[in-house]
Copies of this chain bind each other. A is one copy, B any other.
Amino acid sequence: MAQHRVVIVGGGFAGLKLAKDLKCRDTSITIIDRRNHHLFQPLLYQVATTVLATSEIAWPIRALFRDRKDVNTLLGEVVGVDLERRLVLLKDGNAVPYDTLVLATGARHAYFGRDEWEPFAPGLKTLEDATTIRRRILLAFEKAELETDPETRKALLTFSIIGAGPTGVELAGIIAQLAHRTLVKEFRSIDTSSARILLVEAGPRVLPVFPEALSEYATKSLTKMGVEVRTGQPVTACNENGISIGDEFVASRTVIWAAGVQASNAAAWVGAEMDRAGRAVVQPNLTVTGHPEIFIVGDTASVKTEQGDTVPGIAPAAKQQGEYVAAIIKARRRKRPEPPPFKYKHLGNLATIGPSSAVIHFGKFRLKGGIAWWIWGLAHIYFLIGTRSRMAVALSWLWVFLSGHHSARLITQKETLKDEV
């Protein structure tokens, strides 16, 4: 039997799970990613807010497959697919042949047609996004300390987060904690506890995927922590000076985008039908219509649940799809019947609100507060890769818990204040 070449584009949750599960005779796997590392995105906001170090939530993909001779890792940027000759086309002109292709290229934050907002309201998807946001937050306090004009100072001490899904809620909570507790004793000219943290949501409530009671609890907790929650009010403008919420302009020098994502270009590469968010509409077995040898999984695929909803873009969904596709490829290689259509099993939703509170919704099980936070924390440590990262993250959290001090408060990348918007 000839070697069967499986090419996976994207080393996110879906791609990694697939490669891990797919261990099959006469089958070789190539993982192509434009970054050298897998990123644990659910904790990326903690890098942006100075709690965790970059290397605590990212691992070199090739190191994860050190002991798998059948897995080849390739650092490269995919620009297209030659469907006829079955080649993945790279930006550097190289082409990688495949027998089975899996596109797991994820999503990027999207501005719903307002791309001009991006320089003023960075989103959070890569390590660089996180260190950029971290730099902006810390620089805002530093500049406020030097500023003599009270209006400008107020604008520097106003932080706006657009979008109140889990990421927006988590960001608002930690920024409030940073301003109202961690930094209070460190500045001499400003009172950081006077900082204003706005969480702006166009929809009617925060954490819309949670039951209403938990949304209400989250709003109350955030308010108690000093976050100003503004729901039902879309942001209508955004520039270097601040944002407009409906008709009201709020001077705010630090704005973070947590409002929406756009799928990668994978659908276009293979000519698949797209939904409104740019996701590829796939067959019930996650293949591309007319191309049983091509699968699309994770945030870049539009998959329906049994109830007809779209499967959410979260890590457990991506992993389930990776696992499912591994099972199909194995069945095909062993000439056994393929498994039945992909069925998403929703495990539940988790979100933290600040340093010691969380909400959990698992079917009929609902929990909020401190115990929910511990469950959230243990679950995330469990899902990290390797003992080393688990120890490091546990140590970082323990330290915050005991001392209240964040250990990754570095302004990096830009040399001076003047370089910054």
Residues of A with Cβ closer than 8 Å to B? 34-37, 53-56, 58, 60, 62-63, 65-67, 69, 72-77, 91-92, 94, 127-128, 131, 138-139, 142, 145-146, 185-188, 388-389, 391-392, 395, 399, 403, 405, 407-413, 415-418
- Taken together as a complex, chains A and B put the C-alpha atoms of A411 and B92 apart, in Å, by 18
Tell me the interface secondary structure of chain A in the complex: mixed
Task: Please determine whether B75 and A146 come into contact, CB atoms closer than 8 angstroms.
Answer: yes
Minimum CB distance partner of A63 in chain B: B186
Task: Please determine whether A409 and B36 come into contact, CB atoms closer than 8 angstroms.
Answer: yes
- Enumerate chain B residues within 8 angstroms of A76, measured Cβ to Cβ: 146, 417
- Enumerate chain B residues within 8 angstroms of A138, measured Cβ to Cβ: 36, 60
Task: Please determine whether B410 and A399 come into contact, CB atoms closer than 8 angstroms.
Answer: no
Task: Please determine whether B412 and A54 come into contact, CB atoms closer than 8 angstroms.
Answer: yes
Q: List 28 A-B contacts (CB under 8 A).
A: A35-B411, A36-B138, A36-B410, A36-B411, A37-B411, A53-B53, A53-B56, A54-B408, A54-B412, A55-B408, A63-B405, A66-B185, A69-B188, A72-B188, A75-B142, A75-B146, A75-B411, A76-B146, A76-B417, A77-B416, A91-B418, A92-B146, A92-B417, A127-B412, A128-B412, A128-B413, A388-B399, A392-B407
Minimum CB distance partner of A408 in chain B: B55
- Taken together as a complex, chains A and B put the C-alpha atoms of A418 and B186 apart, in Å, by 42
Separation in Å of the A413 CB from the closest CB of chain B? 6
Q: Which residue of B36, B399, B410 contacts A37 across the interface (Cβ within 8 Å)?
A: B410
Task: Please determine whether A62 and B92 come into contact, CB atoms closer than 8 angstroms.
Answer: no
Q: Which residue of B62, B91, B389, B395 contacts A392 across the interface (Cβ within 8 Å)?
A: B395
Query: How many copies of this protein are present in the complex?
Result: 2
Separation in Å of the A232 CB from the closest CB of chain B? 37
Minimum CB distance partner of A142 in chain B: B75
Query: With A395-B392, A395-B395, A417-B92 as given contacts, are A407 and B55 in contact (CB-CB < 8 Å)?
Result: yes
Task: Please determine whether B415 and A34 come into contact, CB atoms closer than 8 angstroms.
Answer: yes
- Enumerate chain B residues within 8 angstroms of A139, measured Cβ to Cβ: 75
- Taken together as a complex, chains A and B put the C-alpha atoms of A138 and B59 apart, in Å, by 13
- Enumerate chain B residues within 8 angstroms of A413, measured Cβ to Cβ: 128, 413
Query: With A74-B145, A75-B417, A416-B34 as given contacts, are A409 and B91 in contact (CB-CB < 8 Å)?
Result: no
Known: A34-B416, A36-B142, A66-B186. 16 other contacts (CB 8 A): A35-B411, A36-B409, A36-B411, A37-B409, A55-B409, A60-B409, A74-B145, A75-B145, A75-B411, A76-B146, A92-B146, A127-B410, A128-B412, A131-B412, A389-B407, A392-B392
- Taken together as a complex, chains A and B put the C-alpha atoms of A228 and B336 apart, in Å, by 56
- Taken together as a complex, chains A and B put the C-alpha atoms of A391 and B188 apart, in Å, by 30
- Taken together as a complex, chains A and B put the C-alpha atoms of A391 and B131 apart, in Å, by 23
- Taken together as a complex, chains A and B put the C-alpha atoms of A329 and B399 apart, in Å, by 37
Task: Please determine whether A418 and B92 come into contact, CB atoms closer than 8 angstroms.
Answer: yes
Minimum CB distance partner of A399 in chain B: B388
Task: Please determine whether B409 and A63 come into contact, CB atoms closer than 8 angstroms.
Answer: yes
